[in-house]
Structure 1
């Protein structure tokens, strides 16, 4: 008697075969080839490999002529094999072509399933998506982010047409609140998930789903500050209030427009300058002035301060940089070639 685990595996295989037409036809072709090979080996008195080779060649209607039946029984088997081969091989090739075309169409429509791991997943709509993707690509080119695929999920085809993305970005179409969409995007294997849904209630719901399905870090854009605590409670690792930031910049553009220009420049990797964070273990315990001077001479970057639980900008020159701190620096954007 077969062990229970073996029986269960056989039952699973049987169910998969019964539900998959392509597998059914493939098993039928292979089974017929075995049957005809046994018959040919028996009637023609040849080894099994030669018989199996003859059966496959005959079923595929290739007929090289290097192996031919000599007996009447062998010729009968050859005729039956040729007729059976035409039907089964035609069905197999048709299903293969159908699956290939279906897969291509699903990819064109964004309804396919990705097979990535540790990828960056961006879900949302609007200009925030394209800006985010461009920043990620820039950080990858500079070596600040690990090289990994970027997958974008749009809610519909119209949104996909409105937003221009680089060719190397994988695009899916689907409802972000649907588990099926998140599964197709392999959220369970993503390293980071970015949500820019332009709907705070939907952002809370999707964050809960992502956290339930994945261990990825989740970063969310919201419109209202009232949603920040809800999203943090849902498990979001960081929440950005886009309208509050936009409002502050709009107000500042009236009385200090130059500051707005600086902020827009340093927050974009494609501008003239870029604010970045770098490891500072070589300067832990040393005065801020030494780090400022050495970084300018050696790295051609300007030290703005350090991050230790919170940002500390422009500290006293004699203040030592605490252990565990990261350095906040200003440097020229790689795209402009202005500094390093």
Structure 2
């Protein structure tokens, strides 16, 4: 792409989004006006037929609906002068309004579906996770969140939103550093922002923008360069995962034939033999007084972010403490 070409493309993209929002707003207004007109016709037909021909309100409403929908059973017909005048009004105004309203409503929903397929829609999620960036690991992240009953939506430039939609992955196409894109992804109602592949600088920029829009948002990001770790924490990123360092340590342990790697894989793999559980303490108690699952054993207590492994059944716990418990499936070694 020529220098400046990407910037021009983004300007055109944002302009297209603006036109789309204007058209959607006009469509919604037309639908609202048509629905209001339908209400007027239904009320006028119901009350008018009741007064002009002495029918019950239910029969009058039934006649009005049958007439404007062009079904015309013929079981109720206008027989008085004013009832026939009302019939002309309902036919000339009601039928056209009804047909136009159905067309506009169908067009609106089709347009919203097309926008969703292209990733240009506005998300209607709450308490969801926004994932910035898409690569091979994103689909696994989405599946892991689904296993934890968490909705998610992927945000990135030039996404093939239709392909992701076919895989059951919600997606928004746009610049994740732009407020408009984050708002379309539902940033104000989200409870988490995940930055697995945005790059260290990009993650900082997105995090700062996201915190402006939702100060209570929990932000999780990966860090590729060790020197950027502190900078990312200063950017109000709650959890920074140093991927290169973690990967290096795991591979080094694997070279030494350490069972630590097997342990970690057992913890993180769904079919592994070991599970970890996090228990939040909400009242003063002791480790022995925790309501744990059968077979769970507390191994770490976090207080104000500081871990301790020196725990016994009589170790006191305060509200806000976090207890990590371990559980080995019965299929493991016995005795």
CA separation of 1:32/1:328 partners in 2, compared to 1, >3 Å: closer, same or farther? Answer: closer
Select which of 295, 301, 308 maps to 1:306: 301
TM-score (norm 1): 0.71
Report the CA distance between 1:109 and its aligned residue. 3.6
Secondary structure of the residue aligned to 1:197 is coil
Distance 1:29 1:323 in 2: 64
2:28 is equivalent to residue 23 of structure 1:
no
* Corresponding residue for residue 5 of structure 1: none
2:188 aligns to what SS in structure 1?
Answer: helix
Large movers: runs of 4+ above 6 Å: 16-19, 162-165, 317-320
User: How far apart, in 2, do the equivalents of 1:230 and 1:182 lie?
Assistant: 22
Deviations 1:110-158 (Å, cap 9, x if unpaired)? Answer: 44333333233333322443343444444x3xxxxxx5x4112141434
The structure-2 alpha-carbon separation of the partners of 1:222 and 1:158, relative to structure 1 and needing over 3 Å to count, comes to farther
| Equivalent of 1:99 in 91, 108, 122 | 108
**1:51, distance to aligned residue in structure 2 (A):** 4.9
Q: Does 1:120 align with 2:129?
A: yes
Shift in alpha-carbon separation, 1:131–1:311, aligned structure 2, 3 A: farther
Contact 1:151–1:185 at 8 Å: present in 2 too? Answer: no
Q: Residue 17 of structure 1: CA displacement?
A: 8.6
Aligned equivalents of 1:96 and 1:66: distance in 2?
Answer: 30
Matched, 1:208 2:202: no
1:184 aligns with 2:184: yes
**Following TM superposition, by how much is the alpha carbon of 1:204 offset from its aligned partner in structure 2, in angstroms?**
0.9
Q: Check whether the contact 2:118–2:162 (CA below 8 A) recurs between aligned residues.
A: no
Shift of 1:266: 2.5
After superposition, what is the alpha-carbon deviation per residue over 1:150-198, rounded to whole angstroms, capped at 9, x for unaligned?
1121414348858997x5x644444322323322332212222222133
What is the rounded CA distance, in whole Å, between the counterparts of 1:26 and 1:134 in structure 2? Answer: 41
SS of structure 1 residue aligned to 2:108 = helix
Measured after TM superposition, the shift of residue 70 of structure 1 is: 1.8
**1:232-279 C-alpha deviation (Å, 9 max, x unpaired):** 222111111112211222333333454333333334444332344335
| Residue pairs, 1:31-70, within 5 angstroms | 31-35=40-44, 44-46=52-54, 49=57, 51=60, 53-70=62-79
Which residue of structure 2 aligns with residue 13 of structure 1? none
Q: CA deviation at 1:100?
A: 2.3
Gaps of 5+ in 1: 1-15, 141-146
Per the alignment, do residues 283 and 36 of structure 1 end up closer, same or farther by CA in structure 2, a change over 3 Å counting? Answer: closer
Per the alignment, do residues 161 and 99 of structure 1 end up closer, same or farther by CA in structure 2, a change over 3 Å counting? closer
Match of 1:246 in 2: 247
- For 1:97 and 1:51, how far apart are their aligned partners in 2? 28
- Residue pair 1:231, 1:239 contacting (<8 A) in 2 also: yes
Question: CA contact under 8 A between 1:122 and 1:150: conserved in structure 2?
Answer: no
Tell me the SS of whatever aligns to 2:272.
coil
- Offset at residue 39 of structure 1 (A): 5.9
- Three-state SS of the structure 2 residue aligned to 1:152 is strand
Q: What is residue 159 of structure 2 aligned with on the other side?
A: 157
How many aligned positions are there?
A: 301
Q: 1:330 aligns with which of 315, 326, 332?
A: 326
Gapped runs of 5+ residues in structure 2?
Answer: 1-24
For residues 244 and 324 of structure 2, what CA distance do their matches in structure 1 show?
25
Is the alpha carbon distance of 1:78 and 1:305 closer, same or farther for their aligned partners in structure 2, counting shifts above 3 Å? closer
Quick one: which of 66, 75, 94 aligns to 1:85?
94
* TM-score (structure 2 length as normaliser): 0.72
Query: 1:301 and 1:39, CA in 2 relative to 1: closer, same or farther beyond 3 A?
Result: closer
Going from structure 1 to structure 2, the CA distance change for 1:48 and 1:208 (only over 3 Å counts) comes to: farther
Aligned residue runs from structure 1 range 151-300, under 5 A: 151-155=152-156, 156-158=158-160, 161=163, 167=168, 170-214=170-214, 215-256=216-257, 258-278=259-279, 283-284=286-287, 299-300=294-295
Alignment partner, residue 22 of structure 2: none
